[in-house]
Copies of this chain bind each other. A is one copy, B any other.
Amino acid sequence: MSQDFFAKHEATLKGALDAIATRGFWSAYPEAPSGRLYGETAAVDGEAAFKARLDKPFGLNQPATKAMIGAEMSPFGFALGITYPSPDIDGLMQAAQAALPAWRKAGPQARAGVCLEILHRLNRRSFEIAHAVQHTTGQAFVMAFQAGGPHAQDRGLEAVAYGYRAMAEVPAHSHWQKPQGKADPLRMDKDYHIVGQGVALMVGCSTFPTWNGYPGLFASLVTGNAVVLKPHPGAILPLAITAEIARDVLAEAGLPEDVVLLATDSAEAPLTKELALRPEVKIIDFTGSSAFGSWLEANARQARTYAEKAGINFIVIESVADIKAVTRNLAFSLSLYSGQMCTTPQNIFVPKAGIKAGDGHLSFDEVAAAIAGAVGKFNADPERAVEVLGAVQAQATCDRLEQARSLGKVLLESRSITHPAFANARVRTPLILAVEAKDAAVFTKELFGPISFVIAAESGRSAIEQATRSAKEHGALTAGVYSTDPAFLAAAEDLCIDAGVALSENLDGGVFVNQSAAFSDYHGTGANPAANAALCDSAFVAERFRVVQVRRHSA
């Protein structure tokens, strides 16, 4: 049965394998929330499916359930009212362990087939998942559809492709024949068995439960591990739907459903530490705070942790051809999902003496005003603004926004916007502050949310030096540099490479520094404190399995 899944999706896998070899544009799952692509009734059906989930227990038939819990609140202002299975951890681990031998023996092809079928079904359910992502993360609908649906599925498929390629590079058998001069050669037959590491724990985040979660989930699955999904208590539904689909596909393939298990907890009684310390857990994928990521690395020593933690992303504006194009681009980057992306720029460095702009010159204040003005204008129309800003996931972010006002000179106030469709939604526009280079104590902390600094630097050179020094010390996932000087760009490249931060140069069109495209852009590098791994490369999958050999004299 599972071989059918492989055959059914072999062309998709082939496309993904080609894509990771060239890393040009490629996508398996259409990003437009369109009836033409997803079926005329898909939008209506998806919304209905989401609404049917509300205010009742989530029917996930899995073992070792101790209680049904859940207290998700939509950032758009209502309680989801869904409860999910919270596990007896001993029982959960037993179930996961028991599922491992059959999952290993199914082999790489069958496992890839199962993963591809799960992704296919997730894709067909993208509208339902979009609502689930919107009403847990606060992303506006179209973003929730794209980032939570097809883009996340592409990232999952990318992980399947890397895992499959890594396993395919290990021959299943070899014949070893060593010459012995005039005597008969020595002859051995050898089998190489791919063995998963054991149980993998995927710790989800509240802002991108699927986009940040699927790479680890699918990398672990395809390489032969069982996966426990531990969602953030505020964003359970997207991963619960994922677990439901995965378990269905496994059962249809005649494989143990318990290869994928959901472990729900609450903010009051978190389970992550206990799960992470279990000896059965050999792999942890985590997206979240630096403090907790470091705790995992320091304590869950029986496991390999792939952690994306906090970073402080930066922009350096040294010179521009067209300030309007630059600030239009930045306005979108700063506004998108109210700055709640791990890739949103926080620190914008501008030389205090101003910059060359086209044939003219702009003072620091003029550049700062241009940025603030562009962001203000971008969010002027509330109806349009909410479709980019979405809602703020956590009240703590609103509180932080409030407190941050005093950290610098306010260039643009954050406004609260009333959502036309959701009266109780937490909607906030970006806050932009001016500070000086010496105020590093203020801006070298991550201020998660729509909070940015325009920093008056000594010079372009000192700006890029300070920014990359901060990236080395505090981490950064993204960097943007604006310069019309090739020598400056070359120097910036060297410093960014040294700081291990992905660099975007002179983005002034329809590509944004905080967006990374699966199959082409690596998300994170693993080379600075913001993350110890990249989505997705060979290093992300290589240690999720081991090879055990058996050899004997040839018959």
Contacts and interface: CB of A to CB of B under 8 A. Distances in A.
A539 B193 CA distance: 15
A332 to B, nearest CB: 14
Contacts of A165: 169
A174 B500 contact: no
Interface stretch (A184-192, A347-355, A419-427): A184-192
Interface residues of A, number: 65
Contact of A496 (B23, B186, B301, B548): B548
Interface in A506-555: 506-511, 517, 520-522, 525-527, 534, 537-539, 542-543, 546-553
A525 B501 contact: no
B171 A21 contact: yes
Contacts of A542: 537-539, 542-543
Interface stretch (A38-46, A175-183, A251-259, A364-372): A175-183
A295 interface: no
Given A171-B23, A527-B195, A522 B500 contact: no
A497 interface: yes
A503 B301 CA distance: 28
B22 A548 contact: no
A210 interface: no
Given A23-B192, A192-B23, A301-B297, A502 B170 contact: no
A25 interface: yes
A547 B552 CA distance: 40
Interface string A432-476: 000000000000000000000000000000000000000000000
Give chain A's interface secondary structure class: mixed
A190 B174 CA distance: 39
Contact of A25 (B170, B176, B525, B549): B176
Given A504-B552, A525-B548, A527-B195, A510 B180 contact: yes
Contact of A171 (B22, B543, B549): B22
Given A24-B174, A24-B175, A195-B527, A548 B500 contact: yes
A504 B552 CA distance: 6
Contacts of A551: 502-505, 511, 521
Contacts of A180: 510
Contacts of A498: 101, 195
A2 interface: no
Interface string A211-240: 000000000000000000000000000000
A548 B501 contact: yes
A205 B21 CA distance: 39
A525 B547 CA distance: 6
A185 to B, nearest CB: 8
Most buried by B among A170, A298, A498, A550: A550
A506 B549 CA distance: 14
A531 to B, nearest CB: 10
A344 interface: no
Contacts of A176: 23-25, 517, 520
A521 B543 CA distance: 18
Contact of A174 (B22, B171, B297, B298): B22
B550 A505 contact: yes
Contacts of A387: none
A166 interface: yes
A493 interface: yes
20 contacts: A22-B171, A24-B175, A165-B169, A170-B537, A186-B509, A195-B497, A195-B527, A297-B301, A298-B301, A497-B548, A503-B548, A503-B550, A503-B551, A506-B553, A511-B551, A525-B546, A525-B547, A538-B538, A538-B542, A539-B542
Given A537-B542, A542-B543, 9 more contacts: A101-B498, A166-B538, A174-B520, A180-B510, A502-B548, A502-B549, A505-B550, A511-B551, A539-B543
- Those 8 A-B pairs whose CB atoms lie nearest each other, nearest first: A542-B542, A505-B552, A527-B546, A539-B542, A23-B174, A503-B550, A539-B543, A25-B176
Interface of A: 21-25, 101, 104, 165-166, 169-171, 174-178, 180, 186, 188, 190, 192-193, 195, 197, 297-298, 301, 493, 496-498, 500-511, 517, 520-522, 525-527, 534, 537-539, 542-543, 546-553
